[in-house]
Chain A
Amino acid sequence: MEVCNCIEPQWPADELLMKYQYISDFFIAVAYFSIPLELIYFVKKSAVFPYRWVLVQFGAFIVLCGATHLINLWTFTTHSRTVALVMTTAKVLTAVVSCATALMLVHIIPDLLSVKTRELFLKNKAAELDREMGLIRTQEETGRHVRMLTHEIRSTLDRHTILKTTLVELGRTLALEECALWMPTRTGLELQLSYTLRQQHPVEYTVPIQLPVINQVFGTSRAVKISPNSPVARLRPVSGKYLLGEVVAVRVPLLHLSNFQINDWPELSTKRYALMVLMLPSDSARQWHVHELELVEVVADQVAVALSHAAILEESMRARDLLMEQNVALDIARREAETAIRARNDFLAVMNHEMRTPMHAIIALSSLLQETELTPEQRLMVETVLKSSSLLATLMNDVLDLSRLEDGSLQLELGTFNLHTLFREVLNLIKPIAVVKKLPITLNLAPDLPEFVVGDEKRLMQIILNIVGNAVKFSKQGSITVTALVTKSDNRAPPDFFVVPTGSHFYLRVKVKDLGAGINPQDIPKLFTKFAQTQSLATRSSGGSGLGLAISKRFVNLMEGNIWIESDGVGKGCTAIFDVKLGISNESKQSGIPKVPANPQHANFAGLKVLVMDENGVSRMVTKGLLVHLGCEVTTVSSSEECLRVVSHEHKVVFMDVCMPGVENYQIAIRIHEKFTKRHQRPLLVALTGNTDKSTKEKCMSFGLDGVLLKPVSLDNMRNVLSDLLEHRVLYEAM
C-alpha cells in the first residue's frame, strides 16, 4: 500500500465544509462550462467579431478550468491514481492555456481599447458631417432662392416691376417683416423712400445721405447689420413691440447708365447708390445668418444689373423714337423740297415760255424797225431797245440754263462738228465789237488740234463766246489772243486735276489772254459764283448779270474739264484758261457734208423692203425704178385689196398713190393701222399725191399717214425723204 499523500478528509468534523466546497465546485464547473457555450452562441450569431482565435483560447481556458474543478470533485474522497493523473493533466493544460491567454490578452486589450477611441472619433466625424450637410443644404436652398429671385428680377425690363419683384421675393424668401428701398434724390443729397414691401403708400420722406450709418453701408459691398432704431429702419411708427427684428442694409450700386429720375443730370463721376433695408420679423428670435446675408448681397448686385439693363432699354427706345421722329421730319422736308423744286421748275418753264414770246416779239419788231427810215434819235432809241431786250433775253436763257444745270437735269447734246470752224465762227461774232473797241483778236490753233470732234457744239460755243466776250468787255486797250491746243498733263493746271488723254478722247485747252483791266487775285475765287461781280468803276458800264462765268464753269464741269483764271493784278490783264474733254471723230477730213454715198445705188437703204401701191402702171413702174435705184427691195401692188393681202411687218415703208378722188384710198391706211397694232411693226405710210394743198396734207394726217410726197418725186427728193423718214419716223414735206 502506498502512502497516500493526500490529505484525508476529516468527514465528521468538517463534513459540512466539505459539502459546501463540493457544491461550490460543482456550480463553478457548471458555470465554467456554460460560459463558453454562451460565448460560442453569441459569437456565432455575430459575424463581425474579429477575435475568434482569442475566444477559442478563452473558451478552452474556461473549459479546462471547469474541468479542473469538476475533477476536483472526485478528489475529496479517496481516489485512484487515474483520477489523480487526469487531474494533473487537466491542471497542467489549464495552466498552459491560461498563461497563453494571459499573454494574448496583453496584446488584445490595447487594441480593444483603441477601437473604442476610434468609435468615438467616428461619431464626432459623423456629427461634423451632419453639420456640414446641413450647411450645404441651406446654401443650396439659398442658391435656389437667389436664382429664382434673379430670374424674377431679370425677367422684366421695367424698372418698377424689377424693384417690386425684388422686394416681394426677398420678403418671401427670407420671411421678412419689412423691406424698403431708398433712392438718392435729384440733388444727390438725400435718400428718398421709394419702395416698400408692406406699406402700400409709402410716406414720401427722406433722410440726408450723409448719415454715419448710411456711409457705413455705402462703404462696403457687404450687407451690414444696422440698428433697428436708425432713421432708415424706422419705417413705421413703433407700435410698442418689445423686440424689433434685426435689420440689415445693403447698398445697390446705380450704374451710370441707370438714371432714374435724374435724366438730364450730368454724369457723376462718383458712384451712386441706393439703399435696401431688410427687417426681420419683430418678436422672433431669428437672427441673420451668414447665408442670408450673402443672399441679400447677391440680390443687390443682380438688382443693380437689372436696373441698368432696364435703363439701357429705355434709352435705346427713346433714341429709336427720336430717330423715327427725325426720319419723318426729314421725309417731310425732302418731299417739301422736291415739291418746291418741281414748282420752281414748272414756274421757270412756264415763265420762260411766257417771257420768251413777248421777248421775241420785241426783238423781232425792233430789228424790223431798225430796217426802216429813222431819225438819228429814233435810231438810237431803237438800238437801245434792241440791246436791252437782247440782254434780257440772254439773261432769261442764262437763268433757265443755270437752274437746270444746278438740278443736274441738263445733259450735253453730243454731236460731231468742226472745231476749227467753231473757233472761226466765234471770232466772227466777236470781231465787230472788237473792231469798234480797236482790240485786235488773234486766233492760234495748234497744228495737232483735231478738226472733227464729238461734243456739245452749242455749249462749247457758249463757253468760248462767254470767255472771249468777257475779255473784250473788260479790256480798254491791248490785244486779245485766243489759243487752242491739245493738252497733255500740264503743270499749270490746278493741282487736283490731272489730264489723261484716252484713246478716243482728248482734252482741248483754250487760253484767252487779254491786256485789259486785270483782276485782283483776291477776287478770282468769287468770279465763278453766281451773280457776283467785281464792281470797279471801269466795268460798271458793261452789262451782264454775272452769270456768264458761273454757267461756263458748270458747262466745263459737265464736259469733265476745268476752268480757271490767272491774273497778275489789277491793270495787268488776265488769262482765262479752260480744259474740256472732247471725243475724236473718225470722220474724214474732207467732207463736212453728212454721208453722201459715192454710188447712189449703195445708199443706206440697201435691202429696205418697201411696198408700192399705185393703180397707174406707168407711175408704179417709175416709183419702183426710183426705189430700186436707191437699193430698196420693192414689191408693187395695184389695188388696196392686194396691198392689204401682201403687206407684212417686213415692209418698212408703204408708198400709196392717193391721186384718185375720193376717200377710198385713205381707207387702206386705216386698215393697215388695224392690221399692225404695235407701232414698231407697222410700216411707215407715205402718200404720193399730185395735190399739194393743205387739205390733202390734213387729210393724210387724219388718216394716220406718216408722210406725204408730191408726185413726181425726184431721185434726190426720194433719197432725202427716205432717210428722214427712217430716222424720225415721220415726214411732212414742206410744201
Chain B
Amino acid sequence: MNTVVAQLQRQFQDYLVSLYQQGFLDNQFTELRKLQDEGTPDFVAEVVSLFFDDCSKLINSMSRSLERPENVDFKQVDSGVHQLKGSSSSVGARRVKNVCISFKECCDVQNREGCLRCLQQVDYEYKMLKTKLQDLFNLEQQIVQAGGAIPQVNIN
C-alpha cells in the first residue's frame, strides 16, 4: 500500500510542479495551500470553485456587454475585468491574470475587437485551469483514500 501512496504522492508532486512551471499557477496558489489544514480541509477546493463560478459569471456578463458593437458599456466591461483580475491574482491563476492585464489595456482604449479577443482567451484559460485543477484534486483524493498525506510541495 505504501508504495501506491508514495507513487500517488510523487505523481501529485510532479503534476503540481508542472502546473507551476507551465505558468498556470503562481506563488499565491502556494499560499492558498498553506491555509488549508485540518480545520479547513477543502479550503483550496472551495476557493477555486468559487473562482471558476465567478469567472463564468463575469465572462458571460462581459460577453453580453461586448455583444453589440454600437453601445458597448466599457465601464461595465472594465469593472468585470477588474474583478476578474483581482480574483485570479487572489487564487494564483497566473495565466488568467496575465490575460486580464492585457484585457484591461484594451478596455482602456475602448478596443472592442481587442476586448473580444481577450475575452475569448480568458475563457479558454480559465477552462483549461479548471480542468487541470480538477485533475489535481482527483489525485489528492486518491492519495487521501489510499491513506496517505498530501505532500507539501515547495516551489522555489
Interface residues of A (CB under 8 A from B): 601, 615-619, 621-623, 625-626, 628-629, 657, 659-661, 690, 711-712, 714-715
> Considering the chains assembled together, what is the distance between the CA atoms of A314 and B25 in angstroms?
101
Q: How far is the CA of A712 from the CA of B47 in the complex (A)?
A: 14
- What 7 A-B pairs are tightest by C-beta distance, nearest first? A618-B87, A619-B90, A622-B90, A616-B86, A629-B35, A625-B35, A712-B28
Of B50, B54, B86, most buried by chain A (CB within 10 Å of CB) is B86
Which residue of A is nearest B39, CB measured? Answer: A601
What is B's interface to A at a CB cutoff of 8 Å?
27-28, 31-32, 34-35, 37, 39-40, 43, 46-47, 50-51, 54, 79, 82-83, 85-87, 89-92
A629 partner residues in chain B, CB cutoff 8 A: 34-35, 37, 40
Query: CA of A452 to CA of B48 in the docked complex: distance in angstroms?
Result: 47
- Main SS class of interface, A: helix
In the assembled complex, which residues on chain B have CB atoms less than 8 Å from the CB atom of A628?
A: 35, 39-40
> Closest CB of chain A to B140's CB: distance in Å?
17
* Residues of the A chain whose Cβ atoms lie less than 8 Å from the Cβ of B35: 622, 625-626, 628-629, 715
Determine whether the beta carbon of B40 is less than 8 Å from that of A712. no
Docked Cα-Cα span, A659 to B82, in Å, equals 8
- B102 → chain A closest CB, angstroms: 16
Q: How far is the CA of A207 from the CA of B27 in the complex (A)?
A: 121
* A–B Cβ pairs within 8 angstroms, 9 of them: A601-B39, A616-B90, A618-B87, A618-B91, A622-B47, A629-B37, A660-B79, A690-B89, A712-B31
A715 with B86: in contact, given A618-B50, A618-B91, A621-B47 (CB under 8 Å)? no
Asked whether, in the complex, the Cβ of A712 is within 8 Å of the Cβ of B37, the reply is no
Closest A residue to B29 by CB, please name it: A712
Q: Is the CB of B89 within 8 A of A625?
A: no
Q: Is the CB of B31 within 8 A of A690?
A: no
Q: How far is the CA of A601 from the CA of B43 in the complex (A)?
A: 15
Q: What distance in Å separates the Cβ of B98 from its nearest Cβ neighbour in chain A?
A: 14
Q: A712-B31, A714-B31, A715-B34 in contact; A625/B86 too (CB < 8 A)?
A: no
Q: What's the minimum C-beta distance from B1 to chain A, rounded to whole angstroms?
A: 29
Shortest CB distance B126–A (Å): 12
Residues of B within 8 A of A618 (CB): 47, 50-51, 54, 86-87, 90-91
The interface residues of chain A lying within 8 Å CB-to-CB of B86 are 616, 618-619, 657, 659, 690, 711
- Chain B residues lying within 8 Å of A616, measured Cβ to Cβ, are 54, 83, 86-87, 90
- Whole-angstrom distance between the Cβ of A635 and the nearest chain B Cβ: 17
Report chain A residues within 8 Å CB of B37.
601, 629
Is A625 within 8 A of B87, CB to CB? no
Task: Pick the most buried of A619, A711, A715: most chain B CB atoms within 10 A of its CB.
Answer: A619
Chain A residues whose C-beta falls within 8 Å of the C-beta of B83 in the assembled complex: 615-616
Point out which of B32, B40, B92 has the most chain A C-beta atoms below 10 A from its C-beta.
B32
Structural contact, B82 and A712, CB atoms closer than 8 A: no
- Chain A residues near B85: list those with CB within 8 A: 690
Complex: A615 Cα to B83 Cα, angstroms: 8
A616 to chain B, nearest CB (A): 4
Tell me, rounded to whole Å, the shortest Cβ–Cβ distance linking B62 to chain A.
Answer: 15
